[in-house]
Every structure is written in structure tokens, then in C-alpha cells.
Amino acid sequence: MRNLIYLIIIFSFACNQPAENTPTTPFVMVLGVAQDAGYPQMNCKKECCKRAWKNPDLQRTTSCLAIVDPISKEQWIIDATPNIKEQLQLLKQKTGTEKLDGILLTHAHMGHYTGLMHFGREVMGTDNLPVFAMPKMKNFLEENGPWSQLVKLENINIKAIKSDSTFSLNDRIKVKPFLVPHRDEFSETVGYEITINGKTLIFIPDIDKWEKWETDITELIKKVDYAFLDATFYKNGELKRDMSEIPHPFVEESMELFSELSNKEKAKVHFIHLNHTNPLLIEGSTAQKVVLKKGYNLAEEGEIIKF
């Protein structure tokens, strides 16, 4: 009997412990790499999604990063995706908990905020969970149901943030939102710069085209340590519709633009936010080989970024 009790104690202890080789200083973890709709995409019967429907190992969730501080045991996520439930389980495997200390939002497209619905009465019923949002995004959530109910019932507490204005998540982690051009129907769109231990990471899951942005992305890559960048489409013609209606930098265009960078700088780039049609989702595809051979990285779910 005593042995059984020991076993139960050891087992429950092991269950609540973070996974081995988890960093002891703040880090970023990739929780999702796909475009808003995830991979495979609903109702897609084409070659791109065929294998992923049959094999869950090939499926990918919507782009999302977690920021984790193992010292204070705090954790935040950038964007609340439709896959938040699975993504917090993935986070828990690494940190031992799915409890969040806040959510940072980029914009009001379906892949980036609709996961907030899980914090309401029907599910978590959280108490004033901090949600960091730009002014139009904040207003959109406050003025439109069902999001307005999360505000009214104080499930979430929206913290207004300003572009190009740095704020601290705690003593060790600084964050700066910055505006990027995108189809801003309901909100502005921001990317985030995260600074930990003197090193920086930028996350831009959605942007129309690099040329439309006043910031020179190539110069910015030189200044930062990691760049998680919009790679929605690999190349023009990937969709059988007018792709100028949904502009994104094609990965081919980005690689052309970044070709002047040194190998060390190219290695900072992690392509993320992949549409179901993007061949970078297919293991061993020619596109994957090209991107990796040129020295760029592909964001991977579960990947840990150290600072």
C-alpha cells in the first residue's frame, strides 16, 4: 500500500513538472505555423491537403507564439487562434501549465483573435485576463458581441497599447508593437518585437507586401536576432483567384529581397503563417529544399527559441 502511495506521489509530481531541457531563462515557443484556417483547410479536397486529412501528424495549427518566463512561471501568447485549446496543451507539455498571464493581439482576422471565445462563461470564465490590444482592436472587442460580453463580465481586461511604444511584461521581458500594412477592415494590424536578455525577436504573421511598409525589412533583419515572417503563399499563381485581393509577400519574393543578406542573417528568418496551398507545408517538397538550402528556417510547432 505504501509503495502505491509513493507511486501516486511520484506520478502526480512528474505530471506537473515542465519537460526536461526547458530553458531556465525566458524563451519563446512556437505553438502554431499555419495561416488563419490551419492545415488542412476546411473542405479542401485538393492534393495540398489530401495526406493531412488522413494523417494527424501532418496537420498544423494557426500561427501563434508563446512567451514563457520560467523564473516567475508566467506565460503569454501572441494571438488567440481557433486552435488555442490544442496549443495550450502543447505549451503545457513544455511548462507544466496552461495558465496564461496575458494575450497579445495582432489584428481582427479570424486566425488571430477568435480563440478569445474560450475565456468566456461557456468555458474558462477567466477573471480579468489581460488582453493587450491596439486602439481600434480594443474598440472592436468592446463594441461587438460576443467579445463585448467578455469585457462586460470581466473575463478579459483589455490593456490599450500604442505602436512603437515599448512596454514590459515583467522585469525580464519587453514588448513593442509596430504597425504594418494589411487589410485593416476591423482593426489595425501590428507585428511585435520581443526583447529578452538584450536579444530581439520580431513576429510579423500578416503583412500585405514588404514594399508597402515604410520600414526596410532587410535592414530590420540585420538588427534583430530572430525574424518570424509572413510566408502565407510560396509564389504567385498558387491560388486560382486574383491574389492581389489578398496580398502577402510571396516566399519567393522575400527570398529575392533578402538575397543580399549574409548566411548568418538569413538564418534569423523563420517563415510562418503558411496557407494550406503552400508547398512549404509538405515534408521534403522541392520548395522546402530550396528554402532550407538558401539558409532560411521554417517555423516548427514546439520549437523553442532561446535568448
> What residues make contact with Zn ion under the rule CB under 5 A?
36, 41, 44, 46, 48-49, 109, 111, 206, 276
Q: Look-up: residue for cell 488522413?
A: 54
Between CA 19 and CA 99 the distance in angstroms is 16
Nearer to Zn ion, 44 or 153 (CB): 44
Amino acid letter for position 190:
V
Nearer to Zn ion, 26 or 111 (CB): 111
**What stretches of the chain show up as alpha helix (H) in DSSP?**
2-15, 47-54, 84-95, 110-113, 135-143, 147-152, 217-223, 251-257, 263-266, 286-293
Q: Virtual CA dihedral for 176, 178, 277, 288, nearest 10 degrees?
A: -60
CB of 81 to Zn ion, least distance (A): 9
Overall size of the chain counted in residues:
307
Cα(28)–Cα(22) distance, integer angstroms: 11
Q: Which is nearer to Zn ion, 27 or 233 (CB)?
A: 233
In whole angstroms, the minimum distance from the beta carbon of 199 to Zn ion comes to 26
Nearer to Zn ion among residue 36 and residue 225 (C-beta): 36
Q: Which cell goes with 271?
A: 517563415
Q: What is the DSSP letter of 96?
A: S
Separation of alpha carbons 229 and 272, rounded Å: 6
Which is closer to Zn ion, CB of 206 or CB of 225? 206
Report how far residue 263's alpha carbon sits from residue 185's, in angstroms, rounded to the nearest whole number.
38
